[in-house]
Structure 1
Amino acid sequence: MIRVAVVGTGGIAGICHMPALAEHADRAQPVAAVDPDAARLSAFRAEHSVPAGYADLATMLEAERPDLVHLCTPPFLHAEQVIACLRAGAHVWCEKPLCLSLAEYEAIAAAERETGRYAAVVFQHRFGSGARHLRELVEAGTLGRPLVVRCDTTWYRPPEYFEVPWRGRWETEGGGPTMGHGIHQMDLMLSVLGEWEEIRAMAGRLDREVETEDVSTALIRFGNGAMATVVNSLLSRREESYLRFDLTDATVELRHLYGYRNADWSCSSPLWDPGEDVSGSHGAQLGAVLDALEHGERPPVGGDGARRTVELITGLYASAFTGRPVLRKELTPDHPEFGRFHARMNGGMAL
């Protein structure tokens, strides 16, 4: 039985993480929750029958020594808390984004090497049956070569959404819809297409009183030759998450909002058959995380898989702020123009 602690008892913990743990109750058991808000913590523990509660992470780690920590805290806390958990001997499954920069990612990777523990990020859309089937077909070449891709996250968030103090700020959220919303669709795209080589992007603050962008767009060229267009928006009244893959022998589409089932996928080829209907959910990814930990292996969407998504977003912002195309190989801390984006997604610049 894997002993689990949940850190942060806000909406995502109760809506997604506790149902995921319930799906795997035969393998994982919540033993503690952490939140500085005593009333919220008490209500969470009562609702989900969590035995112990703590006001701070350090005290919980010392007292409980959990095997796995689910981090459900605001983004600016992630890197520091991930490293603290790793050093306390716990593996980590962290809500997106795993960290706010490539520099923070590298600090997490160093802590993994130091401790022998692993950190993975919540990118649940990779784990539904449709996404798994698409990757299998692309890897086998069954539908031909990927050519043209669309990746749209067109959502809507009203002005009051940004009244939460950490939202819409570079220092605490790390970015706008590129970092906090479209990251799921872009990660799913990356899981299908692999390494990217070049990105050209724009980002703007069109209608919300925030520091970050509320819209971004990008053109991406991948190592396999495929080219993609990306749109991330929080201003779109008709909300949709949309992916389209045009391959030499078929077109595959996914239309959904916050999660999908097999019925949300379509394909022009009769070879499309994702089989068992598994949603792209926290429960599906948690199962894969537990499988890996039980075998002493790195959980999926950690290591290089996690870095690739942070790297793409860094490249998007670097291109948007400088007005230049960015090559993936140029995203190094010593690059004369793009090095500033290694430590901060906006490179210390203002929109």
Structure 2
Amino acid sequence: MTNVAVIGTGGIAGIHAADLATLGGRARITAAVDPDPLRLEEFCATWEVPYGFKDTTAMLDTAAPDLAIVCTPPHLHAASAIACLDRGVHVWCEKPVAMSLAEFDAMAAAETPSARLATVSQHRFGSGAERLRTLAAEGVLGPSATALCLTMWHRPDAYFDVPWRGTWATEGGGPTLGHGIHQIDLLLSILGPWREVTAVAARRARATDTEDLSAALVTFDDGTLATIVNSLVSPRETSHLRFDFARATIELTHLYGYGDDDWRITPLDEHAGTVATAWNSGPAGRASGHSAQLTAILDALDALDAGEPPPVTAADARATLELVTAIYAAAFTGAPVRRGEIDPESPFYRRMDGPGAPWPPSGEPR
């Protein structure tokens, strides 16, 4: 049985705990960490966690987890993850995994062959995404031409009453980093490396430091053009991805997680039989979500201990974070940004807003 420590016991930690409880005894939470004693006590009582600690160091000094799930606010991810990796504990970190490429690189540098860093990438693990990756890689759909990646969500002003939300210093960014990153990660897992991005970002309706809306045009290495929109000001919420290949359009419409029925396949008439047969012969019945990825991580733990990479590697996670960073850089400088261009000399390497967003900090929206 895998011993798990949960670091941070807010709302997302409860989701992870509930998923662990469905896995038939494969894993158990043996320790939890939170500086808020009442929240910690409630979490431990709800999920029958034997030991609670006020900080990660105290937990590591006493407990011996095989895996730590980092569920803290974003600005605390790096310190918690590095502390665990330094003690030889595998880490599965919530998104956004880091506030900047600099933070992420420090986290990745703490990896060892026996202590690996994984990041929540739950939308990669639904059977529909697996089918699409296979068909795209095998050429069944033909070359890709264009794609849409839309995270059209709504968060009211009250959502930002939580002190760490809506600031560059503690949340790291707005919907581009904290919300749209889930759909962006799935997009990249299908289309592969990107080459260049142009973008705009705005603070339209929320009294935050960060943006509440962004849009980007991304060119991929194979020439595919993708449009990415991230919003927290959309009354009808949806998450939508569309992939136009030469032989078929593949669409996914959901909100926070998808099943097989959320996919729509529209092949050209002359390829309808081939595409339908290939799609219908693929894996089925596995919804996206934390549980799907957690199962994959538990399946891989023996291989991780032998030095094998996790199902989604640190390099995979960095590629997603680099595109998010480039969207901010392109939006705030007004210039295209190429992959690899944001190096340690760039102001955007250490902060998503670089030298500062082009609107007044905090207060009323412009």
Moved over 4 A (4+): none
Residue in 2 aligned with 1:72?
A: 71
Alpha carbon RMSD of aligned pairs, Å? 1.2
Deviations 1:76-129 (A, max 9, x none): 00011110110122110011011111111111121114x741111111011000
Query: Which residue does 2:317 correspond to in 1?
Result: 306
Q: Does the 8 A contact of 2:119 with 2:314 survive in 1?
A: no
Q: In structure 2, give the amino acid aligned to 1:268.
A: T
Deviations 1:231-268 (A, max 9, x none): 00000000000000000000000000001000000112
Give the conservation status (yes or no) of the 8 Å contact 1:65–1:89. Answer: no
| Paired residue type of 2:333 | T
Give distance in 2, aligned partners of 1:169 and 1:65: 35
The one-character-per-residue Cα deviations of 1:290-336 (angstroms, maximum 9, x if unpaired) are 122221222122321011011001110000000001111312123xx
Map of 1:1-351 to 2, 5 A cutoff?
Answer: 1-14=1-14, 16-113=15-112, 116-269=114-267, 270-271=276-277, 272-273=279-280, 274-296=282-304, 297-334=308-345, 339-351=346-358
- When normalised by structure 2's length, the TM-score is 0.92
Structure 1 pair 24–124 and aligned structure 2 pair: CA distance change class (3 A): same
Segments of structure 1 that go 5 or more residues without pairing to the other structure are: none
For residue 131 of structure 2, give the secondary structure of its aligned residue in structure 1: helix
Distance of aligned partners of 1:77 and 1:24 in 2 relative to their CA distance in 1, 3 Å threshold = same
- Are the aligned partners of 1:70 and 1:92 in contact in 2 as well (CA < 8 Å)? yes
Q: Distance in 2 between matches of 1:25 and 1:103?
A: 39
TM-score normalised to structure 1 length: 0.96
Distance 2:123 2:176 in 1: 16
Partner SS, residue 178 of structure 1: helix
CA distance in 1 between partners of 2:67 and 2:2 (Å):
7
Stretches of structure 2 that go unaligned for 5 or more consecutive residues are: 268-275, 359-366
The letter for the 2-side match of 1:27 is R
Q: Using the TM superposition, give the Cα deviation of residue 24 of structure 1 relative to its aligned residue in structure 2, in angstroms.
A: 2.5
* Structure 1 residue 53 displacement after superposition: 1.0
The one-character-per-residue Cα deviations of 1:37-80 (angstroms, maximum 9, x if unpaired) are 11111111111111111111110111002110011100000011
* Contact map agreement 1:62 1:88 (CA 8 A) in 2: no
Work out whether residues 65 and 88 of structure 1, in 8 Å CA contact, stay in contact via their aligned partners in 2.
Answer: no
